[in-house]
Amino acid sequence: MDIPLWFALMVVGYLGVKLVRPPWWLVCVFLLGGYLLADSLFASAIDPAVK
Spell out the per-residue pLDDT of the chain, length 51, in tens. 788 988 988 999 899 999 999 999 998 899 888 888 888 888 888 788 777
Q: Are 3 and 11 in contact (CB under 8 A)?
A: no
pTM greater than 0.85 (yes/no): no
Check residue 2 and report its DSSP letter: -
**HSE-up of residue 45 (Cα within 13 Å, Cβ side):** 4
Q: Helices 43-50 and 24-38 sit at what angle, rounded to 10 degrees?
A: 100
- pLDDT tens-digit readout, 5-16: 889 889 998 999
How much is the mean pLDDT over the chain? 87
